[in-house]
C-alpha cells in the first residue's frame, strides 16, 4: 500500500513539475517539499460545470440541441443553461396584434380584451430543459419589436435582436408579471424559486441602446426586479449582466440606495479581448469578482455571484454554430477556478 502511495505521489510531482517551473522561481538545492499523504485534501468543486450557455432560446426546440444537451449533462451533470432571447419575436411571447387563421378561412384579427401573450414556445423550451433535469438560467431579453421604443434598434448579430428600451414601461411590467406568474402556475413555486433570473445581457455594450446607458439600464432593472418580486419574493433576480465586470459597484450602490432587490450578481467577460488588456482585466476581475468588498455594500449572506465568460462569433457574419458561452458559479467568496470554454450545442444555424 505504501509503495502504491509513493508511486502515485511521484507521478503527480512529475506531472506538475513543468507547470511549477514555469510559474515559480527554481527552488534552491536545499529546498524540501513535504507532502502529507494522510491529509484529507481540499474540495475542488467544478464551478464551471454547473451552468452552460448556448445561443438563443429558440434553438433549444431542435432535437439535435436536446441530444447535445443530454450528452453534456451525462458528462458534467450540470445544473442549468443560459441563453438569449426568450422575449424575441421568434419565440412569439408578445404580440398585441396577433391574428389567427384556420386553413381555407380568412385571418381573424385580435379581439378586444384578448391576451397579448402566447406561451406555447416558452412552455416547450422550458419543458424540454426540465425533461433533461436541467433548469433555465433565465436571461430576460431581448425587446419584442412591438414593445420597442425604437423598432430599428437592432444588434449586429445576424439574428438581429432588438436592444432598445420599451416604449412604455407599463407594457414591460405587465409582460414580466404575466411571464413570471405563468412560470409559477406551470412549474410550481418550489421549482421556479430555484431558477436564477438575470436582467438583459451586457447592457454596457451595444446590446443596450438606452441613452445614457447606465441610468436607463438601471431603470430597466428596477422595473423588472420589482415586478418579479411582486409575484413572489422567493424568486432570485439580479444583474448587472455587464461585460468585463463593468458597473458592479455602481449597480450595488443603486440597489442599496433605492431599496431594489438583487439576490445574485452576474457580470460577464469575453476571452476575445486583446491580449494587451488581459492583465488589467484580470486585476479588475479579481477586485470585483473574488473580493467581498465591492459586494458588501448591498449583499446579504444569501446572495449569489454568477460570473460568466463568453465566446462569440463575429458580429457581422453568419455563424456556423450558435454563440457558445461558459458560466461559472461561485457560492463562496474568494474561491474559484479558470473556466474552460464549453458549448452546450453544436447544432447548425437555421
pLDDT over 70 percentage in the chain? 67
What single string gives the DSSP state of each residue in 290-334?
I-SHHHHTT--TT-EEEEEEEE---TTS--SS--EEEEEEESSTT
Find the CATH number of the domain harbouring 195: 3.20.20.80
Of 68-72, 220-224, 245-249, 344-348, the least confident: 344-348
User: Measured between alpha carbons, how far is 288 from 244 in angstroms, rounded to an integer?
Assistant: 10
Q: Which residue spans within 1-58 are E strands per DSSP?
A: 51-56
User: Measured between alpha carbons, how far is 32 from 187 in angstroms, rounded to an integer?
Assistant: 58
Confidence tier at 267 by pLDDT (50, 70, 90): low
- List residues bridging with 135 in a β-sheet: 80
Owner of C-alpha cell 462569433: 313
pLDDT at residue 56 is higher than 80: yes
Residues 6+ apart with CB under 8 A from 68: 344, 345, 346, 347
Rounded alpha-carbon distances, angstroms, from residue 13 to 3, 28, 35, 159, 259? 15, 17, 10, 50, 52
Rounded alpha-carbon distances, angstroms, from residue 63 to 77, 137, 208? 19, 20, 31
- What pLDDT shows up at residue 152? 97
Average pLDDT, the chain: 77
Residue 151 belongs to domain spanning: 46-330
Higher pLDDT, 268 or 330: 268
> Grid coordinates representing 249?
459597484
| Domain membership flag for residue 187 | yes
| Domain membership flag for residue 349 | no
| Domain membership flag for residue 297 | yes
| Domain membership flag for residue 338 | no
Per-residue pLDDT tens over the stretch 142-162? 999 999 999 999 999 999 999
| Domain membership flag for residue 15 | no
CB 336 within 8 Å of CB 330: yes
The pair phi, psi for residue 138, each rounded to 5°, is -85, 105
- What pLDDT shows up at residue 23? 55
Per-residue pLDDT tens over the stretch 59-68? 999 999 999 9
| Domain membership flag for residue 23 | no
Integer-rounded Cα radius of gyration of the chain: 23
Measure CA 57 to chain center: 12
- What's the half-sphere exposure (Cβ side, CA atoms, 13 Å) at 307? 26
Number of structural domains in the chain: 1
| Domain membership flag for residue 78 | yes
User: Measured between alpha carbons, how far is 90 from 93 in angstroms, rounded to an integer?
Assistant: 8
| Domain membership flag for residue 240 | yes
Residues 6+ apart with CB under 8 A from 301: none
pLDDT at residue 263 is higher than 50: yes
Q: Across residues 41-54, what is the average pLDDT?
A: 84
Dihedral, CA of residue 326, residue 329, residue 334 and residue 335, to nearest 10: -80
User: Measured between alpha carbons, how far is 79 from 50 in angstroms, rounded to an integer?
Assistant: 5
Amino acid at each position: 500500500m505504501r509503495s502504491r502511495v509513493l508511486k502515485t505521489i511521484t507521478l503527480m510531482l512529475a506531472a506538475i513539475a513543468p507547470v511549477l517551473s514555469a510559474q515559480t522561481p527554481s527552488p534552491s538545492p536545499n529546498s524540501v517539499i513535504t507532502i502529507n499523504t494522510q491529509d484529507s485534501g481540499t474540495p475542488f468543486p467544478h464551478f464551471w460545470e454547473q451552468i452552460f450557455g448556448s445561443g438563443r432560446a429558440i434553438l433549444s426546440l431542435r432535437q439535435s440541441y436536446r441530444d447535445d444537451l443530454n450528452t453534456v449533462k451525462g458528462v458534467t451533470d450540470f445544473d442549468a443553461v443560459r441563453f438569449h432571447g426568450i422575449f424575441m419575436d421568434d419565440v412569439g411571447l408578445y404580440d398585441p396584434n396577433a391574428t389567427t387563421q384556420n386553413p381555407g378561412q380568412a385571418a381573424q384579427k385580435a379581439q378586444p380584451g384578448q391576451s397579448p401573450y402566447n406561451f406555447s414556445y416558452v412552455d416547450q423550451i422550458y419543458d424540454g430543459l426540465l425533461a433533461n433535469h436541467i433548469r433555465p438560467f433565465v436571461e430576460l431579453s431581448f425587446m419584442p419589436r412591438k414593445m420597442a421604443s425604437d423598432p430599428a434598434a437592432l444588434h449586429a448579430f445576424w439574428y438581429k435582436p432588438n436592444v432598445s428600451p420599451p416604449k412604455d414601461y407599463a407594457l414591460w411590467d405587465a409582460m414580466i408579471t404575466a411571464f413570471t406568474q405563468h412560470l409559477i402556475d406551470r412549474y410550481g413555486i418550489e421549482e421556479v424559486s430555484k431558477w436564477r433570473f438575470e436582467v438583459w445581457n451586457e447592457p454596457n455594450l451595444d446590446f443596450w441602446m438606452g441613452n445614457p446607458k447606465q441610468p436607463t439600464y438601471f431603470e430597466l432593472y428596477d422595473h423588472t426586479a420589482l415586478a418579479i418580486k411582486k409575484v413572489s419574493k422567493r424568486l432570485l433576480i439580479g444583474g448587472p449582466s455587464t461585460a468585463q465586470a463593468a458597473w458592479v459597484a455602481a449597480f450595488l450602490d443603486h440597489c442599496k440606495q433605492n431599496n431594489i432587490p438583487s439576490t445574485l450578481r452576474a457580470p460577464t467577460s469575453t476571452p476575445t479581448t486583446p491580449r494587451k488588456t488581459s492583465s488589467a482585466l484580470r486585476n479588475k476581475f479579481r477586485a470585483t469578482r473574488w473580493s467581498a468588498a465591492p459586494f458588501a455594500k448591498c449583499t446579504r449572506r444569501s446572495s449569489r455571484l454568477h460570473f460568466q465568460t463568453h465566446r462569440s462569433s463575429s458580429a457581422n457574419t453568419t455563424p456556423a454554430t450558435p454563440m457558445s458561452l461558459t458560466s461559472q458559479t461561485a457560492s463562496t467568496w474568494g474561491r474559484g477556478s479558470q473556466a474552460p470554454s464549453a458549448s452546450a450545442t453544436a447544432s447548425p444555424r437555421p
